[in-house]
Amino acid sequence: MSIPRITSYTLPDKEHYPLNKTQWQIDPEKAVLLIHDMQEYFVNFFDIHHPPMSDVIHRIQRLKTVAKRLAIPVIYTAQPAKQDPNERALLTDFWGPGLQQETAIIGELAPEIGDIEYVKWRYSAFKKTPLLQFMQENNKDQLIICGVYGHIGILSTALDAFMLDIKPFVIGDTIADFSQADHIHTLHYLAGRAANIQTLAEVEQRLAEKKTALTLDQMCLDVANTLSLELDEVDVNENLLFLGLDSIRAMVLLEKWRPFGVNLTFAQLIEKVTLKEWWELIHDQTPQQSMESASA
């Protein structure tokens, strides 16, 4: 009754992808990224060091980087442990009692400050969660979906989105399934009925020209995440060395900001020691960007 151990398989290549019935394109202003059920419990049914999971983890990281650069909200779903039988209901008949210990989102994809996490109770990420309410309140009508498992939660969530007049985009090489056959079937089923299927490379290429300015608020979030701090612990005038900054973490931050058009060298960055000084340095380098943060 539980999930079977999943044999490694190669992610389907482009020739196995279906033709889309729609010509939908992702609009960063209207989209939300859903990282679906990438918990240790579900991921560990794969060999994480071999395809598809080794590839999927890396590609979801890339997809999230695109989302962050374009200020697309990132939402995670995760199922709880030791569910009450009445709450779990019919799922028990198919999959047994479920998680017996809390399992986090895998470390490689751990939520960052500013990301949203929803407890998930059913196949669809819309059932018994605030996802629909969040999208309506924030004027979002596109859902970019990645994660596991293709023919169960991914499929159900995409179908629900379609029936709620939300355009689902399933990024075919950022999902994993019980088998390559299940994976391919999911892509074809959805492309013909409810969703637009794209590859990560297509998403990256189409969104590459869409630029957004790096804000001081975003820099504060990145520093907090990189230094494992709470956001309110980050003061733009504080010496970052006192907060735990070292050369490795400085390089990590610099790489985070390169997609925003930041072309500073490491040597230029470490000449300054506060976030405000960094922001002024970046602003001087790219004068067309306005200082968009009230935190300045």
Query: Strand 116-119 vs strand 196-198: parallel, antiparallel, or unpaired?
Result: unpaired
The reply to whether 250 and 175 lie within a common domain is: no
Active-site entry in 64, 68, 115, 120: 120
The rounded mean pLDDT for the chain is 90
Q: How many domains does the chain have?
A: 2
Is residue 165 domain-resident? yes
Residues 37 and 147 in one domain: yes
Residues 46 and 119 in one domain: yes
Is 113 within the bounds of a domain?
A: yes
pLDDT digits (tens, 9 = 90+) for 56-82: 999 999 999 999 989 899 999 998 877
DSSP state of 58: H
Catalytic residue among 37, 160, 177, 222: 37
Q: Looking at the structure, tell me whether residues 110 and 253 fall in a common domain.
A: no
Structure-derived torsion over alpha carbons of residues 105, 160, 20, 58, reported in degrees to the nearest 10: 0
Whether pLDDT at 293 is above 90: no
CB 125 within 8 Å of CB 36? yes
CA distances, 199 to each of 2, 33, 48, 183, 256 (Å): 30, 15, 21, 13, 23
- Give domain status of residue 6, yes or no: no
Does the residue 4 lie in any domain?
no
37 is catalytic: yes
Residues 141 and 221 in one domain: no
The 3-state secondary structure of 197-231, one letter per residue:
EECHHHHHHHHCCCCCCCCHHHHHHHHHHHCCCCH
What's the predicted TM-score (pTM) here? Answer: 0.78
User: Is residue 86 one of the residues assigned to a domain?
Assistant: yes
- Residues 183-195 have a mean pLDDT of 98
| Domain stop point among 211, 240, 275 | 211
Is 177 in the active site? no
Predicted pLDDT of residue 76:
99
- Shared domain for 238 and 146, answered yes or no, is no
- Residues 270 and 163 placed together within one structural domain of the fold: no
**pLDDT at residue number 294:** 36
Beta carbons within 8 Å of 96's beta carbon, 6+ residues apart: 1, 2
Q: In terms of residue numbers, what domain contains 145?
A: 14-211
pLDDT at residue 61 in the model: 96
The helix/strand/coil state of 175 is strand
Query: How would residue 1 be classed by pLDDT, with cut points 50, 70 and 90?
Result: low
DSSP bridge partners of 142? 31, 167
Task: Verify that 101 and 219 share a domain, yes or no.
Answer: no
Tell me what pLDDT residue 295 has.
Answer: 42
pLDDT in tens, 16-62: 999 999 999 999 999 999 999 999 999 999 999 999 999 999 999 99
Tokens of 122: 């059913």
| Known catalytic membership, residue 36 | yes
Do residues 138 and 257 both lie within one domain? Answer: no
